[in-house]
Structure 1
Amino acid sequence: MSTSQLRVIWVYPDLLSTYGDQGNVLVVERRARQRGLAVERHDVRSDQPVPTSGDIYLIGGGEDRPQRLAAERLRRDGGLARAADNGAILFSVCAGYQILGHEFINDLGRREPGLGLLDVVSVRGTGERCVGDVLADIDGSLRLPPLTGFENHQGITQLGQGARPFARVRLGNGNGTGDGTEGAWSGTVFGTYMHGPVLARNPQIADLLLRLTLDVEALPPVDDRWYDALRAERMAAAQAA
């Protein structure tokens, strides 16, 4: 990244921004500023080119048709894939997560190519929709506390050998495969089904993205009382359900 400014890119807010997912970019921006980092934020609409010089790219969820349109435009644009090739950090949610994989089922019931940035394939489940609070344990190598979030999806996402589960669920469905996995990650690319927005409920994930960008082991501490209260409330609610 630039030594003077953190470049945060919010990808296609006009298509992919359901369930408060735009809150994720607000949390990253705030967590960076709390550490004295200057932040240059770009909200890139679907009729604009995706810049390749960003440090952190955030992608939210969306309905079926906007998801197809987003995938088509991201494939055609190529900027996000080039940014990933350059080592940028990508964090994606729900529909955005599926788009980063090899393929998913679109609103027309057809297989839609993704960007192939995560070794996952998504199909549409035939059973009940996965809806509700989730509690999961994040991959231990990432050194993060338990994941709390809200899922609302019909998708089932299978991981290939090139991706690791982001977390393993205690409560909820996650990837919908029945194997207890939730989300996926590989290198600097992350995907999850969690809304919430997930980074407001799990600010340590936002800090992980910052640490990876800065290439540091730890960040200066900040006041987490509000986040801790929200996390405690949602985790207790999930466990009581």
Structure 2
Amino acid sequence: MLNIGLILPDVLGTYGDDGNALVLRQRARMRGIDAEIHRFTLGEAIPENLDVYTLGGGEDTAQILAAEHLIADGGLTRAANAGRPIFAVCAGLQVLGSSFRAGGQTVAGVGLLDMETGTLGKRAIGEVVSEPQLDDVNEPLTGFENHMGATILGADAYPLGRLSKGVGNADRHASADLEDGEAQILAEGAVQGSIVATYMHGPALARNPQLADYLLARAMGVDLKQLQPLNIPAVAQLRRERLA
């Protein structure tokens, strides 16, 4: 049985990112693997022994509540320390960093990703495409970004993708004074340890099946190439349309 944790969908479920858990479950079941989604809402303890976890996006107030709960509960941190794969989107990405801006203040994050999030000069809205920086993932990543976060990666995190379209993590306003400013404005998302995070909505795993399978493989403790390929024409058509 593959156990998928959908974390705080009541406060981090604004943009349909709950769909990422559904994609993981469906792609597992299509391979004959039993899989179930377990929802954990605000105030509920998060177990540290699930196979994979997903977090979505949310607004400022919800984001602050999510960070406070995840820090106090500690279950997701223990899961990350144990190497359990975690997939976080947009506000979920920001919450897992060391700090983020919300409600006009700087808020402490969970500290699982070496990064800080400030504010972009202008809201990033639109299609985003990047070249993946993950081992064994070689298909372009595609999604829809809608955020004001300017996320600067530290030395222990690296980008999920190298940007070819869209804004991604940061703009020139946010990275102008950094030694690695050019690299920062080409970065989309963040990877550190077992955590994969992105600004891509879509849901991201519906639009990027290879990335979904990467997370499934990590959850199952196998190599990506060991997963049986799935031929889903509708997914292939969606990718052609979005990448065009």
- Rounded to whole Å, the distance in 1 between the matches of 2:9 and 2:66 is 10
Match of 1:190 in 2: 196
Number of the residue aligned with 1:129: 123
1:85 to 2:81 alignment: yes
- Where 2:197 maps in the other structure, the secondary structure is strand
Structure 1 residue 187, shift from structure 2 partner: 2.1
Cα distance in 2 for partners of 1:227, 1:92 equals 21
* Paired AA for residue 159 in structure 1: L
Q: Structure 1 stretches (4+) deviating beyond 4 angstroms?
A: none
- Corresponding residue pairs, total: 230
When the two chains are superposed, the root-mean-square deviation of aligned CA atoms in Å is 1.1
CA distance in 2, matches of 1:173, 1:53: 35
Could you tell me which of 18, 24, 29 is aligned with 1:22?
18
Q: How far off its partner does 1:184 sit? A: 0.6
Aligned equivalent of 2:221 = 215
Change (3 A) 1:140 1:45: closer
**Match for residue 205 of structure 2?**
199
Give 5+ residue unaligned stretches, structure 1.
237-241
Q: Secondary structure at the match of 2:46?
A: coil
Q: Percent identity?
A: 46
Measure how far apart 1:186 and its partner are: 1.3
Q: Does 1:224 align with 2:232?
A: yes
Counterpart amino acid of residue 175 in structure 1: N
Counterpart Cα distance in 2 of 1:183 and 1:47: 28
Q: Please list the CA deviations of residues 187-216 of structure 1 after superposition, one character each: whole Å capped at 9, or x if unmatched.
A: 210110000111111111110001112222
Query: What is the CA deviation profile of residues 57-107 of structure 1, one whole-angstrom value per residue up to 9, with x for unaligned ones?
Result: 000000111000110111111111011111110000000000111010121
Partner of 2:5: 9
Measure, in 1, the Cα distance between the counterparts of 2:34 and 2:15. Answer: 28
Matched residue type, 1:158? I
Question: Where do 1:13-92 residues align within 5 Å?
Answer: 13-92=9-88
Q: Distance in 1 between matches of 2:59 and 2:186?
A: 25
Instruction: Kindly indicate whether the alpha-carbon contact (under 8 Å) linking 1:138 and 1:144 is maintained by their aligned counterparts in 2.
Output: yes
Partners of 1:157 and 1:177 within 8 A in 2:
no
Aligned to 2:140: 146
The answer to whether the 8 Å contact 2:134/2:160 transfers is no
Using the size of structure 1 for normalisation, the TM-score is: 0.92
Equivalent pair of 1:165/1:181 in contact (CA under 8 Å): yes
CA distance in 2, matches of 1:162, 1:19: 28
